[in-house]
Amino acid sequence: MGKILRINAKEKTWEYQELPESLVGLGGRALTSKMVLDEVPADCHPLGCYNKLIFSPGILSGSPAANSGRLSAGAKSPLTNGIKESNSGGFISQKLAKLGIAALVVEDKPEDAGFCMVVINKQGVEILDASDYEGLGNYDLMEKLWAVYGKRTGVMTIGQAGEQCLKAASIHQADPKGRPGRAMGRGGLGAVMGSKKIKAIVVDDSGCDRIPLVDPEGFKAANKKWVKMLRDHPVTGQGLPGLGTAVLVNVINEAGALPTKNFRTGRFEHAADISGEKMVENIQARNGVVAEGCHPGCVIKCSQAYNDKNGEYLTSGFEYETLWAFGAHTTVKDLDQIAMMDRLCDDYGLDTIDTGVALGLAMEGGLIPWGDGDACIDLLKQVPQGTGFGKILGNGAAFTGDALGVDRIPVVKRQALPAYDPRSVKGVGVTYATTPMGADHTAGYGVTANILGVGGSVDPLKNDIQVELSKNLQIATAAIDAAGLCLFVAFAVLDNEEGVPLIVDMINAQYGLSLTPDDVIKLGISILENENEFNLKAGFTKIDDQLPEMFKEKFPPHDTQWTFSVEELQEAKNYNA
């Protein structure tokens, strides 16, 4: 495997280190979480000198494996105060892998200084003054960086939110068109990068060899089956390429689980106006792009390019959760306003889920009217200006609710709940409560068996089996995040007995190993155990593994309530049972 590249943000120095024995074989989330546990004092201030920001390509990243281009970022989260892993597609993971870098670690922080940027290439590392780039949004910044370093480099940046160390700040990777539509969005890792005064990281793999494969023929054979499996599954082969994740708006609304007006009801009367179908209709009418990948080797292509009414590019990576947060949650029904909010978040470097939920809480707290998209956009535009309300909003949902004295704040571990009501998709509700990440649908996507009929079928309205479902999905997800695979492969893997063995076959062929599917499960469990150990040291208890009291309210149309006990939920963390 690769080496560790350590960058000291205070001293402006760097060095390569061999990967110690204890970390060999790890990658992606497995490596970031283990290193955060080992190296970051759990009780440190997330924006202080003791926190570290760690990037790691997945185990399969850089190989020809389809959809293996995810990069993990890990640190102590300024949003949750617990451990955080957030990942996205883009160029960086494959380029780091080709440069032989298993982990890129940014340490310490300067006391008083302007922003720097880091350029990594085959020759070494440069830590450069970035004062010219300070104050730029991600769109401008990425364009400027590609102008200097070329369109074949991977770039990863923070916007004005990260510069201000706001808790909802994300880190963005340029997509294949150099746009910041792809974010390591959740948990405020952009603020950690900002605290270390790093505005951008450029990764240039020019002159690097391809990743060596111990058994190239075996790899090729497995990858061929892998690609076919992804293309044959209705979700990864048709639903996601056709409508992106926005396909879910109508599905979840129909299921009565689309949280509307800050989780008051499960159906939004204007759902059709913000649906994937409507999005594609607009894209086609305005000469946008329906299906794009976020990194080379993606066969799912869930991204898109959404143009405005004049046919000018507006945004991409326009996700279901974003449509929901700026739409049903706030009762804004204008898709173009929502697209503008998505664009602004990508530009400023803000997590769309936490920011959208925060806008709904600004409505709940009486700051702006329900359903007023223009007011949302005006408020959002205060973030780069650094106004008081800009700081409040940019610090996320829990912070915004607190600022305004709201008592209906949909967060777990201070991270905002995403687009599936936990009372009517109870499987994902168990994940929100119990994942070490804070409320996060991607940590164990119980929507599969609850709603989509993928990987079995579990009644979404009942408590039965949900804890076990969530636990197993959390374990599998952790392993997928370690492999560097896009989580969406799980739709196909859950419905296909060959799925996990194919992943194992590719890893074995790449590294000359003889792992079994059981080893993958063990890896997933070890990741979760490491993450929980960190959170325990940071002062988390089972009380933090709860949903807030607002979910005791009855939720129409099914009039469901959240009724899991503290003890029942703890079973979701009993990974070896």
Q: What is the 3-state secondary structure (H, E, C) of 496-554?
A: CCCHHHHHHHHHHHHHCCCCCHHHHHHHHHHHHHHHHHHHHHCCCCHHHHCCCHHHHCC
Q: Please state the φ and ψ torsions of residue 471, each to the nearest 5 degrees.
A: -60, -50
For residue 459, the 8-state DSSP code is: -
According to DSSP H, which parts of 331-425 are helical? 335-348, 352-364, 373-380, 382-385, 388-394, 397-403
Beta carbons of 344 and 338 less than 8 angstroms apart? no
Instruction: For residue 325, give both structure tokens.
Output: 């947060």
As measured in angstroms, the least distance from the Cβ of 391 to its own copies is 5
Q: Residue 277 CA to chain centroid, in angstroms?
A: 24
**Candidate residues 180, 194, 317, 436; the one interacting with its own copies per rule CB under 8 A:** 194
Residue nearer to its own copies on the CB measure, 194 or 239: 194
Residue nearer to its own copies on the CB measure, 42 or 298: 42
Residue nearer to its own copies on the CB measure, 226 or 540: 540
Sheet holding 3-8, edge to edge: 13-17, 3-8, 101-107, 53-57, 70-76, 83-89
Residue nearer to its own copies on the CB measure, 48 or 369: 48
**Candidate residues 541, 554, 567, 577; the one interacting with its own copies per rule CB under 8 A:** 541
Contact status: 569 vs its own copies (CB under 8 A): no
**Candidate residues 33, 80, 195, 304; the one interacting with its own copies per rule CB under 8 A:** 195
As measured in angstroms, the least distance from the Cβ of 189 to its own copies is 14
According to DSSP H, which parts of 255-292 are helical? 276-285
What does the alpha-carbon distance between residue 41 and residue 463 come to, in Å, rounded to a whole number? 37
Residue nearer to its own copies on the CB measure, 240 or 358: 358
**Candidate residues 539, 557, 563, 574; the one interacting with its own copies per rule CB under 8 A:** 539
**Any idea how long the chain is?**
577
As measured in angstroms, the least distance from the Cβ of 188 to its own copies is 10
Beta carbons of 145 and 200 less than 8 angstroms apart? yes
What does the alpha-carbon distance between residue 72 and residue 55 come to, in Å, rounded to a whole number? 6
Q: Of 93-101, 197-205, 225-233, 535-543, which segment contacts its own copies by CB under 8 A?
A: 535-543
Instruction: For residue 358, give both structure tokens.
Output: 């925060």
Count the alpha carbons within 13 Å of 358 in the hemisphere toward its beta carbon: 33
As measured in angstroms, the least distance from the Cβ of 280 to its own copies is 38
Q: Of 218-226, 252-260, 339-347, 544-552, which segment contacts its own copies by CB under 8 A?
A: 544-552
Residue nearer to its own copies on the CB measure, 41 or 456: 41
Contact status: 567 vs its own copies (CB under 8 A): no
Q: Map residues 161-190 to x or -, x wherever contact with its own copies holds by CB under 8 A.
A: ---xxxx-----------------------
Q: Please state the φ and ψ torsions of residue 125, each to the nearest 5 degrees.
A: -130, 140
**Candidate residues 257, 298, 485, 538; the one interacting with its own copies per rule CB under 8 A:** 538
**Candidate residues 548, 551, 560, 573; the one interacting with its own copies per rule CB under 8 A:** 548
- For the beta carbon of residue 43, count every other beta carbon within 10 angstroms: 11
As measured in angstroms, the least distance from the Cβ of 345 to its own copies is 18
Q: Please state the φ and ψ torsions of residue 555, each to the nearest 5 degrees.
A: -115, 110
Most distant pair of Cα atoms in the chain: their distance: 62
Q: Say which residue the tokens 């730029």 belong to.
A: 136
Beta carbons of 568 and 455 less than 8 angstroms apart? no
As measured in angstroms, the least distance from the Cβ of 385 to its own copies is 11
What does the alpha-carbon distance between residue 196 and residue 106 come to, in Å, rounded to a whole number? 8
**Single-letter amino acid code for the residue at 244:** G
Residue nearer to its own copies on the CB measure, 317 or 422: 422
Q: Say which residue the tokens 């703890």 belong to.
A: 570
Beta carbons of 427 and 459 less than 8 angstroms apart? no
Residue nearer to its own copies on the CB measure, 80 or 87: 80
Residue nearer to its own copies on the CB measure, 141 or 168: 168
As measured in angstroms, the least distance from the Cβ of 392 to its own copies is 6
Using left for φ > 0, alpha for ψ between -120 and 50, and beta otherwise, residue 230 falls in alpha
As measured in angstroms, the least distance from the Cβ of 531 to its own copies is 16
As measured in angstroms, the least distance from the Cβ of 111 to its own copies is 11
Q: Report helix, strand or coil for 336.
A: helix
- Compute how many residues bind its own copies; rule: CB under 8 A: 44
As measured in angstroms, the least distance from the Cβ of 554 to its own copies is 15
Q: Give the CA angle between residues 136, 11, 56 to the nearest 5°.
A: 65
Instruction: Give the DSSP H/E element, type plus range, for residue 61.
Output: none
Q: Map residues 269-298 to x or -, x wherever contact with its own copies holds by CB under 8 A.
A: ------------------------------
Contact status: 554 vs its own copies (CB under 8 A): no
Residue nearer to its own copies on the CB measure, 150 or 539: 539
Instruction: For residue 544, give both structure tokens.
Output: 């933090």
Residue nearer to its own copies on the CB measure, 50 or 313: 50
Contact status: 543 vs its own copies (CB under 8 A): yes
Q: Map residues 28-57 to x or -, x wherever contact with its own copies holds by CB under 8 A.
A: -------------xxxxx-xxxx-------
Using CB under 8 A, which residues numbered 357 to 416 contact its own copies? Answer: 382, 387-392, 395, 399, 402-407, 409
Beta carbons of 365 and 407 less than 8 angstroms apart? no
Residue nearer to its own copies on the CB measure, 47 or 515: 47
Contact status: 511 vs its own copies (CB under 8 A): no
Q: Of 32-40, 279-287, 520-528, 533-541, which segment contacts its own copies by CB under 8 A?
A: 533-541
What does the alpha-carbon distance between residue 418 and residue 440 come to, in Å, rounded to a whole number? 7
Where does this chain bind its own copies (CB under 8 A)?
A: 41-45, 47-50, 164-167, 191, 194-195, 382, 387-392, 395, 399, 402-407, 409, 537-544, 546, 548-550
